[in-house]
C-alpha cells in the first residue's frame, strides 16, 4: 500500500467513521474530523518528501483493475503538477474544519461528513490517471459541495447550489461523451497509455474530430475554472457558500478546471489546443480585466473576493495557453498561490461576518482599531492577492506575464493591467473596512483574532511568504512536469516557433 | 418440429419459475376465499416465499438452458437475466406493499395473487420465442396490471387510472396482435427465428408493405408498454392514480419485461430490416427523453414527477436499442436492473411518506425530511443521485454503458442530446433534494411514523444494490454481456 493510496483512503475512512458516530456528539465529531484531516495532511507531506523532481513519469503510482469490461482501472499517480495540488487540498481541509468549528451550528455531523467526502473527491481528481476514474472523482466532488452550499449557505443558497450543480453537470456530460469517444477509438481509458499512443503518433484524429474532443473537455474545464463568460455561477456559489465551502470552492475546486487543462487538454489534443489558443487567450484577458473591474465596484466583500478569482484565474489560463515553459510554470504556481491567498481572504471575510453578521462593506469601517491583529493579517493577505513582491502571487503572475511576453507583448500589456487593478480593488477594500472612524456597532461587536482563528490563518500567512521567497522549494517539480507536458503539447504541431530552448527556460536553479 | 405435446422433464425445469408463480398465485386465491379475506398478511408472506422459490427456480432453469414446448419458450441467459430482474422487483414490491395496504385497510390476498400472476406473465414474456406465446404472456401481465391499478376500489383516482390504462392498453395490445397477424401473413410463421429467416430471403422478396406495417404495429404495441413517445401519454395519469406500490411495480417489472420482448423481437425477428426501424427508434428515443425530462421539470406531484422521469429513462434505454448491437443489448439489461432498484426505492419512500389516503404527495411536503428522518432522507438521496446519474451509483453506469453503446454505433448526435437531457434531468431530482435538506421543516414531516421492518428491508436492499451496481458493475455487466447474443 503506497503512501498516495493511504492519503486518498484516509478521508474516505474518516467519512465512514463519522457516519457511524452518534449525531449529537458534536465536539467528538469535530475532533475526529480534524484529527483525520490533520493526519491526512501530515502523511501527504511525505509525498513531497519522497518526491523525486527529475524522475520521469508518475510517482507513487498504483495501477489495479477495477472493472473488467470496459477496461477501467484504478490508476493513480503524482507528478509535479498534481503534487502540490494534493497537498493544497489536504492542507485546506483541516483549515476549513477549524474555520467551521463554531460557525456551523446545525446538522454538525452531516457537515463534517460531507467535508471529508469532499476532500476525498478533490484529492482523487488530482491523482486519477484513468480518464474514467477522473470523471468519477470529478462528479463525486460535486455532490458534497452542492450540499455544503445548499444546506449551510446564506440567503440565496438554494439558487446558488442548483446553479452550481447544473453548470458543472452540463459541462461534464460533454466531457463524458468525449471520454467514451476516446475509449471507443483507442480501447483504453488509461492516460499513460493514451500519452504513449500520442507520442508514437497513433492517436490520429481528423482535425475536426480533435477539435470537437478538445472542446468537449475544454468547456467542462472552462466552466470550472471559470473562464469568462462561463463564470456566472461563481459569484453566486462563493457568496452563498459557508466560509469553509467558499474556501474549498475557490482554493481547490476551481483548480480542478485549471488542472484539467494542463493535464489533459494540452497533451492529448495539441493541435486543437494551439488552434484555439488565440480565442482562449482573448477570453482569459477579458476575464482578467472584467473580473477586476467588477470586483472593484462590489459593495459585498465576498462577492468582491469572488470576482477577484475570475481575474486571477484568467492569469492561469493565459499562462497555460502561452505554451511557454515560464507561462506554464507560472500558471501552475499561480494555482497554488490563488488557493492560499484567496482561501485566506475568504476565511478573513468569514471572520468579519461572524463578528458583524454582514458582508456589506458599508457596515464596516475602522476595524483596525478594535482588531489590530485581524487587520494586520488581512493586510498581508490583501497585499499577497494584489501581487506585492516577496509575497506569493507576485511570483506566479510574474512568470505568467514573462512567459506570455515571449509570445506576444500585446497580451502581456493587457494582462498586466489586471495586476494594477488588483492593487486598486484590494487596497480600496482595505481602506474602507479597516481605516477611518470606527462606528459604534463595529466597536461593540468586532473583537480581535482568537487562538483557533490564528491557528487557521498562520499556516497560510507563512506559506504566502514562503511561496513568495523560496520558489526553489516548490518550482523544480512543477518545472520538470511542465517541460514534459510542453513537449507532449508540441508533438504533431507544425507551426510553433520555440522562442526559448527548453533547457534555458528552467531558471530558478 | 415434431408434434410432441407432452413436455419432457427438462422442459418443465426450464418453465419452473412460471409454474411456481402460477401455483402459488392460485393457492393464494383459494386460501383467500377459505379464510374469508382475513389472512392478508399471512398470504403476503406466502407470496414472498413463492417469489423466493421462483427466484431459485429461475437460477436452476438458467443452469439448464435450452428450448421448451416445441421451441416456443426459450430459456437462455437473456431470459434468465430478465426473469431474475422481474422476480426481484416483485419481491421488493411485496415487501413495500404490506404497510401501505394495511394503512389503506386493503390488505387482501387478491392483491398478492394479481401481483404473482402479473410476474408469471412477465416471465413468460421474457422467455417467449414465438409471437403467440409472447402475446399470451403480455396479456397475463397486462390484465393483472390493469386490475392492480384500480385495486383501491373506493378511490376515484385509482378507478380513473385503471380505466385509462385498460382502454389505452387494450388498443396497444390490439396493435400488437395486428402486427403479429400481418407478419404471419407475410412469412407464414410466428416463430421469431422463422420470421428472421424469411426476412433474410431475397428472392422472391416479401411484400415490403406488409412487413413494414407489421413491424410498425408491433413497435407501437411495445412502445406503449414501455411508455416511449409518442405512446407515453397514459403513464403520468396511471402512475399518479394507481396505489403507490403498484406504480412502483408498473415502472419496474412490466417495463423491464416489455423492453426484453422489444429487444428480442427487434433484434432477432426484425433484425434483417434494421435499417428501416432504426431511424424510428432513434426519433422515438429522442422524443421520449425530451418529453419526459421537460415535462418532469414542471411537476409538483411526486408520483407524477417520477412517472415523467420513468418516461425519460425509457428514452435512455431506447437510445441503446437504437444502437442495435450486442453491447447495446447488454447496456439495456444492465440499465433495467439498476433502474428497478433505484426506482422502486424512490417509490417506496413515496409510499411510506404519503401516509393514509396518499395525502402528502407534493414535492414541497418533503421539506425537512433530512433533519427529521436523516436515514430515510439519505436513502432517498442515493436513489435520486442514481437517477441523476452520479458516479458510484448503478444509474451512472447504466447511462454510461448506454451512451457508450450508442457512440459505438456511431449515434453521436443522439448521445450528445441524450447526455444534455440527463443534465436537464438533474434539475428536477435536485429539487427534491433541495426541499428535503434545505427547506425549513414543514408540517408534513412532523408526525412521520417510524419505518416498518419490511419497508426498511426494501429501502436498504435497493440502496445497497444501487451502490453495488455503481461500484462493482462487472458483477452484472459481465453476465449481461455474455447473454446479450439473442439467438445470433
Q: What is the pLDDT of residues B222-257, one digit of tens each?
A: 999 999 988 888 999 999 999 999 999 999 989 999
Contact between B420 and A69 using a beta-carbon 8 Å cutoff: no
Distance of CA A257 to the CA centre of its chain: 8
56-115 in A: which are within 8 Å (CB) of B?
Answer: 67-70, 107, 110
pLDDT of A237-260, one tens digit each? 888 888 888 889 888 999 999 999
Q: In percent, how much of chain B has pLDDT > 70?
A: 98
Q: Do the Cβ atoms of A479 and A330 come closer than 8 Å? A: no
Cβ of A184 within 8 Å of Cβ of B391? The answer is: no
Looking at residue A439, what DSSP letter applies?
Answer: -
Size of interface A-B (CB pairs under 8 A): 84
pLDDT reading at B120 higher than 90: yes
Give pLDDT tens digits for A387-418: 888 888 888 888 998 888 888 888 888 888 88
Interface of B with A (CB under 8 A): 370-371, 374, 385, 388, 390-392, 396, 400, 403-404, 407-408, 412, 415-416, 419-420, 422-423, 426-427, 430-431, 433-434, 437-438, 472-474, 477-478, 481
| Cα angle, residue A257 at apex, residues A251 and A258 outer, rounded to 5° | 80
Grid coordinates representing B244? 403507490
pLDDT at position B26 over 90: yes
A16 touches chain B (CB under 8 A): no
Does the pLDDT value for residue B404 go beyond 80? yes
Distances from the Cα of B232 to the Cα of A36, A42, A181, B235, angstroms: 51, 57, 31, 6
At A139-156, the pLDDT tens digits run: 888 888 888 888 888 888
Band (pLDDT 50/70/90 cuts) for residue A493 is low
pLDDT band at B65 (very low <50, low <70, confident <90, very high): confident
| Partner-chain contact B416 A162, CB within 8 Å | no
Q: Residue A380 half-sphere exposure, CB side, CA atoms within 13 Å? A: 22
pLDDT above 60 for A40: yes
Q: Which three cell numbers stand for residue A4?
A: 498516495
3-state secondary structure of A64: strand
Nearest to A240, CA basis, from A172, A146, A177, A315 = A146
Say which residues have a Cβ less than 8 Å from residue B293's Cβ, sequence separation at least 6: B308, B309, B312, B315, B421, B422, B424, B425, B428
What φ, ψ does residue A342 adopt, rounded to 5°? -70, -35
> Residue A157 and residue B438: Cβ atoms within 8 Å?
yes
Q: Do B404 and A107 touch (CB under 8 A)?
A: no
> How do residues B133-166 score in pLDDT, each as one tens digit?
999 999 999 999 999 998 888 888 888 899 999 9
**Residue pair B393/B470 in contact by the 8 Å Cβ criterion:** yes
Cell of B282: 432513434
Q: Say whether the ipTM exceeds 0.90.
A: no
Which of B364, B408, B430, B463 should one mutate to test binding to chain A, selecting the residue with the greatest count of A CBs within 10 A? B430
pLDDT tens digits, B164-200:
999 999 999 999 999 999 999 888 889 988 888 888 8
Q: Does A143 touch chain B (CB under 8 A)?
A: yes
CB–CB of B314/B255 below 8 Å? yes
Residues of A in contact with B388 (CB under 8 A): 169
| pLDDT band with cut points at 50, 70 and 90 for residue B126 | very high
Nearest to A243 by CA among A64, A410, A98: A98
Determine whether the interchain pair A110/B385 forms a contact, defined as Cβ–Cβ distance below 8 Å: no
Q: What angle do the packed helices A451-469 and A372-386 form, to 10 degrees?
A: 30
C-beta atoms of B427 and A162 within 8 A: yes
Does A135 reach chain B within 8 Å, measured CB to CB? yes
Task: Report d(CA A174, CA A170) in Å as an integer.
Answer: 7
What is the pTM (predicted TM-score) of this model?
0.88
Contact B404 A180 (CB under 8 A): yes
Question: How far, in whole angstroms, is CA A179 from its chain's centroid?
Answer: 23
What is the DSSP code string of B66-127? EEETTTTEEE-HHHHHHHHHHHHHHHHHHHHHHHHHHHTT---HHHHHHHHHHHHHHHHHHH
Contacts of A166 in chain B (CB under 8 A): 423, 426-427, 430
- What's the CA dihedral at A45, A47, A49, A54 to 10 degrees? -140
CA distances from A428 to A189, A351, A422, A464, B475 (A): 49, 19, 10, 21, 61
Confidence of residue A357 (pLDDT cuts 50, 70, 90): confident
Give chain A positions within 8 Å (CB) of B419: 173-174, 176-177
> In the structure, how many helices (H) and strands (E) does chain A have?
21, 2
Mutate to test the interface with A, among B391, B404, B406, B436 (most CBs of A within 10 A): B391
CA dihedral for A457, A462, A468, A471, sign (positive or negative):
negative
CB of A58 within 8 A of CB of A35?
Answer: no
Examine the pLDDT at B82 and tell me if it is beyond 90: yes
A158 has a pLDDT exceeding 90: no
- Could you tell me how many residues make up chain B? 488
Per residue in B318-362, pLDDT (tens digit) is 999 998 888 889 999 999 999 999 999 999 999 998 888 788 888
Using the beta-carbon criterion (under 8 Å), do A162 and B434 form an inter-chain contact? yes
User: Residue A129 half-sphere exposure, CB side, CA atoms within 13 Å?
Assistant: 22
**Which of B434, B463, B478 is the best substitution to test chain A (most A C-beta atoms within 10 A)?**
B434
| Per-residue pLDDT at A500 | 44
* Helix boundaries (H) for B323-391: 326-354, 369-372, 374-388
Amino acid at each position: 500500500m503506497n503512501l498516495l493510496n493511504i492519503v486518498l483512503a484516509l478521508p474516505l475512512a474518516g467519512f465512514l467513521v463519522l457516519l457511524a458516530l452518534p449525531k449529537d456528539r458534536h465536539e467528538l465529531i469535530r475532533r475526529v474530523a480534524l484529527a483525520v484531516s490533520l493526519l491526512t495532511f501530515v502523511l501527504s507531506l511525505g509525498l513531497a518528501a519522497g518526491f523525486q523532481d527529475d524522475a520521469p513519469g508518475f510517482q507513487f503510482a498504483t495501477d489495479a483493475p477495477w472493472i473488467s469490461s470496459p477496461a477501467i482501472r484504478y490508476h493513480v499517480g503524482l507528478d509535479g503538477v498534481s503534487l502540490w495540488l494534493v497537498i493544497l487540498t489536504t492542507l485546506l481541509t483541516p483549515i476549513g474544519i477549524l474555520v467551521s468549528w463554531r460557525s456551523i451550528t446545525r446538522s454538525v455531523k452531516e457537515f463534517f461528513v460531507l467535508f471529508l467526502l469532499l476532500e476525498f473527491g478533490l484529492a482523487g481528481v488530482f491523482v486519477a490517471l484513468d480518464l474514467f476514474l477522473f470523471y468519477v472523482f470529478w462528479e463525486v466532488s460535486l455532490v458534497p459541495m452542492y450540499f455544503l452550499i445548499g444546506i449551510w449557505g446564506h440567503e440565496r443558497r438554494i439558487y446558488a447550489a442548483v446553479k452550481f450543480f447544473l453548470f458543472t453537470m452540463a459541462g461534464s456530460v460533454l466531457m463524458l461523451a468525449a471520454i467514451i469517444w476516446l475509449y471507443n477509438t483507442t480501447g483504453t481509458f488509461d492516460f499513460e497509455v493514451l500519452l504513449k499512443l500520442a507520442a508514437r503518433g497513433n492517436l490520429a484524429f481528423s482535425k475536426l474530430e480533435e477539435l470537437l474532443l478538445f472542446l468537449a473537455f475544454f468547456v467542462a474545464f472552462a466552466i470550472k475554472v471559470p473562464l469568462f463568460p462561463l463564470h456566472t455561477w461563481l459569484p453566486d456559489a462563493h457568496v452563498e457558500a459557508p466560509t469553509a465551502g467558499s474556501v474549498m470552492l475557490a482554493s481547490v475546486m476551481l483548480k480542478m478546471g485549471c488542472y484539467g487543462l494542463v493535464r489533459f487538454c494540452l497533451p492529448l489534443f495539441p493541435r486543437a489546443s494551439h488552434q484555439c489558443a488565440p480565442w482562449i487567450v482573448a477570453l482569459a484577458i477579458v476575464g482578467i480585466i472584467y473580473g477586476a473591474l467588477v470586483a472593484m465596484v462590489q459593495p459585498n466583500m465576498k462577492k468582491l473576493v469572488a470576482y477577484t478569482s475570475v481575474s486571477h484565474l484568467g492569469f492561469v489560463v493565459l499562462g497555460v495557453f502561452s505554451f511557454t515553459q515560464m507561462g506554464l510554470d507560472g500558471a501552475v504556481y499561480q494555482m497554488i498561490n490563488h488557493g492560499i491567498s484567496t482561501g485566506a481572504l475568504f476565511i478573513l471575510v468569514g471572520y468579519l461576518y461572524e463578528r458583524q453578521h454582514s458582508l456589506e462593506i458599508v457596515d464596516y469601517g475602522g476595524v483596525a482599531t478594535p482588531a489590530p491583529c485581524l487587520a494586520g493579517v488581512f493586510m498581508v493577505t490583501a497585499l499577497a492577492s494584489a501581487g506585492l513582491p516577496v509575497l506569493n502571487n507576485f511570483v506566479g503572475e510574474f512568470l505568467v506575464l514573462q512567459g506570455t511576453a515571449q509570445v506576444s507583448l500585446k497580451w502581456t500589456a493587457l494582462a498586466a493591467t489586471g495586476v494594477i487593478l488588483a492593487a486598486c480593488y484590494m487596497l480600496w477594500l482595505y481602506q474602507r473596512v479597516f481605516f477611518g472612524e470606527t462606528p459604534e456597532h463595529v466597536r461593540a461587536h468586532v473583537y480581535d483574532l482568537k487562538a483557533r482563528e490564528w491557528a487557521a490563518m498562520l499556516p497560510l500567512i507563512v506559506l504566502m511568504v514562503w511561496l513568495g521567497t523560496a520558489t526553489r522549494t516548490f518550482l523544480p517539480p512543477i518545472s520538470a512536469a511542465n517541460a514534459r507536458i510542453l513537449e507532449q503539447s508540441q508533438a504533431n504541431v507544425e507551426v510553433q516557433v520555440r522562442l526559448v530552448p527548453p533547457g534555458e527556460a528552467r531558471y530558478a536553479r | 418440429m415434431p408434434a410432441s405435446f407432452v413436455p419432457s422433464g427438462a422442459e418443465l425445469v426450464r418453465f419452473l419459475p412460471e409454474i411456481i408463480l402460477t401455483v402459488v398465485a392460485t393457492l393464494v386465491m383459494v386460501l383467500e376465499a377459505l379464510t374469508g379475506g382475513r389472512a392478508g398478511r399471512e398470504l403476503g408472506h406466502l407470496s414472498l416465499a413463492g417469489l423466493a422459490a421462483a427466484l431459485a427456480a429461475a437460477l436452476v432453469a438458467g443452469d439448464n438452458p435450452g428450448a421448451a414446448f416445441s421451441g416456443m419458450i426459450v430459456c437462455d441467459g437473456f431470459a434468465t437475466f430478465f426473469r431474475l430482474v422481474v422476480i426481484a422487483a416483485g419481491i421488493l414490491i411485496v415487501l413495500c406493499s404490506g404497510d401501505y395496504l394495511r394503512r389503506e385497510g386493503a390488505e387482501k390476498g387478491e392483491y398478492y395473487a394479481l401481483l404473482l400472476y402479473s410476474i408469471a406473465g412477465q416471465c413468460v414474456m421474457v422467455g417467449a420465442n414465438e409471437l403467440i406465446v409472447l402475446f399470451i404472456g403480455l396479456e397475463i401481465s397486462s390484465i393483472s396490471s390493469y386490475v392492480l391499478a384500480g385495486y383501491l376500489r373506493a378511490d376515484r383516482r385509482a378507478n380513473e387510472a385503471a380505466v385509462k390504462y385498460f382502454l389505452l392498453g387494450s388498443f396497444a395490445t390490439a396493435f400488437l396482435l395486428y402486427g403479429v397477424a400481418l407478419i404471419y401473413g407475410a412469412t407464414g410463421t410466428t416463430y421469431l427465428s422463422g420470421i428472421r429467416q424469411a426476412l433474410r430471403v431475397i428472392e422472391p422478396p416479401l411484400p415490403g408493405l406488409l412487413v413494414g406495417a407489421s413491424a410498425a404495429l408491433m413497435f407501437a404495441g411495445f412502445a406503449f408498454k414501455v411508455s416511449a413517445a409518442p405512446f407515453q401519454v397514459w403513464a403520468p395519469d396511471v402512475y399518479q392514480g394507481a396505489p403507490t406500490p403498484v406504480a412502483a411495480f408498473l415502472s419496474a417489472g412490466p417495463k423491464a419485461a416489455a423492453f426484453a420482448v422489444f429487444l428480442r423481437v427487434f433484434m432477432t425477428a426484425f433484425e434483417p430490416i434494421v435499417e428501416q426501424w432504426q431511424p424510428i427508434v432513434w426519433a422515438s428515443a429522442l422524443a421520449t427523453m425530451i418529453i419526459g425530462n421537460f415535462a418532469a421539470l414542471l411537476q409538483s406531484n411526486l408520483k407524477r414527477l417520477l412517472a415523467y422521469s420513468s418516461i425519460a429513462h425509457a428514452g435512455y434505454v431506447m437510445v441503446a436499442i437504437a444502437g442495435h448491437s450486442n453491447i447495446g443489448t447488454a447496456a439495456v439489461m444492465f440499465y433495467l436492473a439498476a433502474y428497478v432498484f433505484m426506482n422502486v426505492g424512490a417509490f417506496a419512500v413515496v409510499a411510506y411518506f404519503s401516509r393514509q389516503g396518499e395525502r402528502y404527495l407534493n414535492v414541497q411536503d418533503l421539506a425537512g425530511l433530512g433533519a427529521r428522518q436523516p436515514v430515510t432522507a439519505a436513502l432517498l438521496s442515493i436513489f435520486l443521485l442514481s437517477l441523476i446519474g452520479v458516479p458510484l451509483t448503478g444509474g451512472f453506469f447504466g447511462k454510461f454503458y448506454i451512451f457508450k453503446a450508442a457512440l459505438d454505433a456511431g449515434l453521436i448526435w443522439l448521445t450528445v442530446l441524450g447526455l444534455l437531457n440527463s443534465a436537464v434531468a438533474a434539475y428536477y431530482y435536485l429539487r427534491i433534494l433541495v426541499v428535503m435538506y434545505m427547506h425549513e421543516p414543514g408540517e408534513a414531516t412532523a408526525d412521520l411514523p417510524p419505518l416498518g421492518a419490511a419497508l426498511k428491508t426494501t429501502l436498504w436492499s435497493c440502496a445497497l444494490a444501487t451502490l453495488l451496481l455503481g461500484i462493482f458493475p462487472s458483477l452484472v455487466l459481465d453476465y449481461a454481456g455474455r447473454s446479450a447474443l439473442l439467438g445470433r
